[in-house]
Chains A and B, each alone.
Chain A
């Protein structure tokens, strides 16, 4: 059910989009009104969530130190994994955000007879996560062609690089294939590894299916089911310039594609996909390990919590202390 329900949900979304593309006014709804709404919800939702997080203070300085700290001058510090400066934190966050540093550490533990535990290197999750996210990024950036006129140089360059194999017409983008492959890997990993299957929720499968649906409809549209590219560009460019219009016969597949993207954007702020923003705000990663050097302030620190006083302690044990030759304040 954990897998089937989200699958059905995505199929249902496709069905809704398919119907909407056929009924009068449906194309305007899916092609114009919904994108604006979804984009606003996406932006507003993400900003709202980030502000909600930011509202809570970070009471303590709790970086996870993954290397030698700044200590005596002759001891070599790991300035990135255990940063004592802002620059170190920036480097650590850069590696985390752009290269998935922590995931790269991944190992796989195996239990053998003995008992004997063996830890092997395990980089597949890192590799496919990297491929997934970077392909997604490239694909999103490539789509900027649809919203900008003239097409920026970096978009053209990206398209050229992505299609450098020069296979087929229109030119085949490797990211499309790698993207589908990475999604397939992430899905198969979830269903085949017993412990990952056990922890997976519908909320883990739903975005996978949804993104797969988006990629798949996009690929269908580009390579197999011909659509009116000029009309699409007119619509998308119109959306970007707040003068959208639907002209000609665009084709239902486009509206399914757009509908799924809108669904993803609306779903995004409410879901685990917020890890995109959260990674920047994780206190165990983005804090400087200088808690003994610089006092960190906790806004809700309660000054009324005081230790059991020395006076109270001495009152209770004074005679013992005197007998034991331990100095006391009051004789």
Chain B
């Protein structure tokens, strides 16, 4: 789908009538219908994908994904099951009983509006329903109508709305214009987390078969092949071996990774995009070099070959199911602990859900770096360590031979991925690594980094091409902060620790800041690593000439 040019969109964002530019809609928000048209919605899941999930993924959980069917959001017949309103209301009741967070977040909002301009979707679209408070009100109004005394008696006067098709359409539109980044929850005086609301909203939509293909198909792939790209075991291995060939060409060193090897000390799991797609593959080359450099006894797995978890964007059941492979594989291979690559939402699941859902991992040991002897007590129960924690520890103990000059052609900044920042607190480790592997590092403005970081705009399964304009709008706050450091410090490399970021920020930079590239922190580590017996390096891992080697 053709997307409007950046300069035009820039004018539209800054001057077009929206709540962000001061134009107030004439109608009350509950009277403004959600209208689907090409470009403003992600395509629904294909019928056969939902059939796969109902028959193969969850044969014993009927109704989890509604009725498999082809349907078109632009029409007014979504082929919803009979009594779908009750399915939603019963689903809501069940979730109110399961999640205290949902009850509290439904009841406590005072609509102070502190969250309103914290959302990247609101900043980029100016659409009132992208203010986190209204996104929550879409669900809260139904909750009030059917689950509170005031709403039951006073109805609309108390802000209640019955569950109608119009409301369902709003949910589908706006729970897929939220990337569960949690930025609003930092600023909310009660910590109301729109990620929780959106997750519940999406779960409820699934119950009546309303979903998007860009999430459901990768989820199906992850279940069957172990990774969201659907790479079969030999292809997964082949891709990594190609990267080894490139490494050999660049460094003269042959690295020799192993796959599904029993008895390895460490199981390494990273998002499959790192194995398959640019610029993630350069991050993967960084991992391969690092592990070779320190002689780590580790293995990849083709079965648990996906760090990312599309279940997080779907429902709790799917999240648990897909995540379960990690411990299952660690147990089968008999490793001591698990090392996790750079990924945002993967780490949300690992840090906040995995142990609870699929633990206890009593067959693993508290992770201890075989190189430095450091025991990672912060992962004592989950037994999974983040690559940035692992690398930072190596650098601190002087175990890596680094030549940061090899990144002198890069002037880097760092994008805190939402989940490691706001659902984990991983802020300093990647920065410490960056400062040790490259000489030019500049922070973006303080309101756009660390816990206030802006999402890439395409997380939670929204990095699909049919909604490109929406993504470019939602990513604008991030792009704008990069633009600031590009102009001030000539930054040309946006580093991050997230595979979705590596894909989506690349599109975002191409659009808003065409001369800025995107990389994983581990790529810069790989560039800087001085390998024993290597040849003189003339290029970085992208075959790009190093500074002074432009020849």
A62 in contact with B423 (CB, 8 Å): yes
For the complex, what is the distance from the CA of A49 to the CA of B192, rounded to whole Å?
Answer: 18
B:1-15 near A, CB below 8 Å: 10-11, 13-15
Q: How far is the CA of A56 from the CA of B193 in the complex (A)?
A: 17
Q: Which one, A196, A270, A272, contacts B116 given CB within 8 A?
A: A196
Q: Which residues of chain B are near A249, meaning CB under 8 Å?
A: none
Q: Find A56's partner among B100, B377, B378, B428 (CB 8 Å cutoff).
A: B100
- Give the chain B neighbours of A105 by CB distance below 8 A: 186-187, 452
Closest to B300 in A: A326
Q: Are A198 and B189 in contact (CB under 8 A)?
A: no
A202 within 8 A of B: yes
A308 contact set on B, CB distance < 8 A: 56-57, 223-224, 321, 325
**Is the CB–CB distance between A270 and B234 below 8 Å?**
no
Judging by beta carbons under 8 Å apart, are B159 and A297 in contact? Answer: no
Given contacts A102-B188, A302-B317, A305-B320, contact A69 B426 (CB under 8 A): yes
For B, the interface residue count at a CB cutoff of 8 angstroms equals 128
Taking the nearest CB of chain A, how far is it from the CB of B128, in angstroms? 6
**Given A275-B108, A275-B190, A326–B237 Cβ distance below 8 Å?**
yes
Main secondary structure of the interface of A (DSSP, over half): loop
Complex Cα spacing A116 to B487, Å: 13
Distance, CA A66 to CA B108, complexed state (A): 21
**Is A165 interfacial (CB-CB < 8 Å)?**
no
Measured in the bound complex, the distance between the Cα atoms of B15 and A271 in whole Å is: 38
- A276 (CB) vs chain B CBs: closest residue: B108
Contact A201 B111 (CB under 8 A): yes
Task: Flag B389-430 by CB within 8 Å of A: 1 or 0 each.
Answer: 100110010000000000000000000000001111111110
- A71-B378, A270-B149 are known contacts. Are A65 and B425 too (CB-CB below 8 A)? yes
Whether B182 pairs with A326 at a CB distance below 8 angstroms is: no
What is the distance, in angstroms, from B198's C-beta to the closest C-beta of chain A? 13
Q: Is the CB of B226 within 8 A of A313?
A: yes
Which residue of A56, A75, A296, A307 contacts B356 across the interface (Cβ within 8 Å)?
A: A296
B40 at the interface (CB under 8 A from A): no
- A114, B14: Cβ atoms under 8 Å? yes
- In B512-530, which residues have CB < 8 Å from any A CB? none
Q: Contact: B378 with A293, CB < 8 Å?
A: yes
Asked if A243 CB lies within 8 Å of chain B CBs, one says no
What B residues does A275 contact at CB under 8 A?
Answer: 107-110, 189-190
Which of A112, A309, A324 has the most CB atoms of chain B within a 10 A radius of its CB?
A: A324
Smallest CB separation, A89 vs chain B (Å): 12
Given contact pairs A119-B445, A196-B113, A302-B320, enumerate 16 new A-B contacts (beta carbons under 8 Å).
A62-B193, A68-B428, A69-B427, A72-B378, A103-B187, A105-B452, A111-B13, A113-B14, A195-B113, A203-B150, A274-B107, A283-B101, A291-B351, A292-B380, A308-B224, A310-B329
Please report B residues at the A interface, Cβ cutoff 8 Å.
Answer: 10-11, 13-15, 19-22, 24-25, 28-29, 56-57, 60, 96-105, 107-114, 116-118, 123, 126, 128, 131, 133-134, 137, 148-150, 157-159, 182, 185-193, 196, 223-226, 232-234, 237-238, 259-262, 302-303, 317, 320-325, 328-329, 332, 350-353, 355-357, 359-360, 374, 376-382, 384, 389, 392-393, 396, 421-429, 432, 445, 447-448, 450-452, 476-477, 480-481
